[in-house]
Structure 1
């Protein structure tokens, strides 16, 4: 029993000590006095220090940022039209080639021999045709005999044209000027029409392909200018729209647009990601304020104005938002003094002290 009484007594003393330390010690009394003094000073002698901005009209370029892809102006996988062993490779990987330049040659000695044989027969057939033509004029041969010799000559010429076409197919030439990529074949290797020799790319001008939401369809057309950037360069590029897909994408409700951008220095690379800044329209008189000035409310948004030394609450209506600013379309007029700092401490009718005026 005595042990229990001792424990109860110690607990009572501990509780009494904690209560005294919290409410009646010297530190507790000083803390309450400091809080009371602070409230009294703010209420009567402590206006909130703020910066204000003079509201004015400015020109607003309404634009959206969308993503796109850099495409080559022309791109093709080079292949051979005929099969055979490679007898020559006439390009260096990663270099520029001109249209019509010989790139790869396939074995064609058998065709060359056949062509020489036909050409010899053509020479003989031409002599016979000329001789029969003269004899026909002298009525020494019949017309049918002359036509037979002429048909034989034309037949040989046609055979020669076929062989020349076959010879052309043993040569792979550049279909357009551009930069040729890494080759996938070697001299002496067997080349078939299914084998890709290399990729030929023409990237000047470059094509920029992107999609525009349906609501902006009327604001873009052929000849529209777009600006964009790429990760591999700090330069700002511009492009001109030249083609628009005639139908919307039924899933995304966007329309595909393609523009061309000059690329004389080969800074743009096919397949690169493009960040496009598309200017939609220009608003000549718009009120733009810092985003942090607009305080969202349940029903609307509000700002604080400096009027006669005190804070005045003002309801506003907003529209276009940028990275740092927002457009106010109702509630503000040019010349108003908008509070831009100290907003956490401000309440309606609170005295204000201006530290800086931003014009």
Structure 2
């Protein structure tokens, strides 16, 4: 029994020693020193007081802003027509090459007209005879050999035959399809010997020099756009930037989209621009000579307005502002800031009123 008690005492002493070493030994003191320990040099409760927030500051100044907007539009031909015939008949000749340039008045397609040509020749013979009759009767009238009524009858017959000849000439002209303007002719839909009717499309004729550029802008910009304004645009088929000049504005605003349609002309001597192409347009509306522009990210939306933070006496100070024009990276401040203000442009998420600040960089 004594041996058992002695063993219990030894075990208790060992456990007590281990507990003492864990809580008050040298390693415990080192750990307490490393963490600052309660009541140590780190301050009450081991907490350190936070320092000022490092920020970058921009000195506000007036700048000149060019008000541009980007819109989309489409390229149209200056003139475009679907060629058809005014009369029906078999095609006796095709006088153009697909995709070629044709001049105004050039003969493109001819329809059978031999019967009309024969009728016209017959009328011409009758006109020649009627002229002789009218001339003789005129001489006889001067000599009072015939009455005035007889002369007028011969004159009316001559005029009637001339009119009949003119009508046949007009019918012959309709059998010849000519280019109404100069341009490039497209793919033909007819063949020699085929039957051509007024409902048959022969080909499409396009004049795309200059090219027309049609686009729409919001109605708020209407007072800023006038005929003669210059614009620039690009198309998907080329990396080149093209220029155009506004020449017409639709007088009415679209009630659905609240936009107004504008048309401009672009020189296209090499036919680089194609009708129906999609265009990205950069439109210069006006220039604001003196205004304040700040980075978009520094403006914090509020319930009723927007605000920014300024540096005043070393602390963050909120300032309510009014905004207007926006670009990809900047926003116009119309009220609330003045040149010389120190605007905070970094650490905006951490900003609170009266927070101490440390300026790391000044942007002028």
Instruction: Name the TM-score, length of structure 2 as normaliser.
Output: 0.78
When residues 41 and 176 of structure 1 are mapped into structure 2, their CA distance, relative to the original with a 3 A threshold, is: farther
After superposition, give the CA deviation of every residue in 1:67-94 in whole Å (9 maximum; x if it has no partner): 3322222211110000011111111222
After superposition, give the CA deviation of every residue in 1:189-220 in whole Å (9 maximum; x if it has no partner): 11100011111122222222233333333333
When residues 158 and 50 of structure 1 are mapped into structure 2, their CA distance, relative to the original with a 3 A threshold, is: same
Kept in 2: contact 1:306–1:352 (CA 8 A):
no
* 1:134 match: secondary structure: helix
Aligned to 1:55: 60
Matched, 1:330 2:330: no
Matched, 1:217 2:214: no
Structure 2: distance between partners of 1:248 and 1:158? 51
Aligned to 1:350: 356
Structure 1: distance between partners of 2:35 and 2:199? 91
Matches within 5 A, 1:81-96: 81-96=86-101
* 1:158 match: secondary structure: helix
* Residue from 282, 291, 296 that aligns with 2:287: 282
* 2:209 match: secondary structure: coil
* Residue from 201, 205, 222 that aligns with 2:210: 205
Matched, 1:175 2:180: yes
Kept in 2: contact 1:311–1:352 (CA 8 A):
no
CA deviation after TM superposition for structure 1 residue 174, in Å: 1.0
* 2:50 match: secondary structure: helix
Kept in 1: contact 2:248–2:263 (CA 8 A):
yes
Matched, 1:43 2:50: yes
* 1:259 match: secondary structure: strand
Aligned to 1:320: 325
Aligned to 1:8: none
Question: Bigger radius of gyration, 1 or 2?
Answer: 2
When residues 120 and 175 of structure 1 are mapped into structure 2, their CA distance, relative to the original with a 3 A threshold, is: same
Kept in 1: contact 2:310–2:316 (CA 8 A):
yes
* 2:263 match: secondary structure: strand
Gaps of 5+ in 1: 1-25
Flag as ranges the 4+ runs of structure 1 deviating above 6 A: 39-42
Kept in 2: contact 1:56–1:287 (CA 8 A):
yes
112-121 or 245-254, which moves further after superposition? Answer: 245-254
Structure 2: distance between partners of 1:236 and 1:188? 47
CA deviation after TM superposition for structure 1 residue 310, in Å: 5.1
Structure 2: distance between partners of 1:314 and 1:215? 29
CA deviation after TM superposition for structure 1 residue 298, in Å: 4.1
Matches within 5 A, 1:244-283: 244-283=249-288
Structure 2: distance between partners of 1:54 and 1:232? 44
After superposition, give the CA deviation of every residue in 1:8-40 in whole Å (9 maximum; x if it has no partner): xxxxxxxxxxxxxxxxxx9xx89x959xx9x97
* 2:137 match: secondary structure: helix
286-295 or 49-58, which moves further after superposition? Answer: 49-58
**Number of residue pairs matched by the alignment:** 325
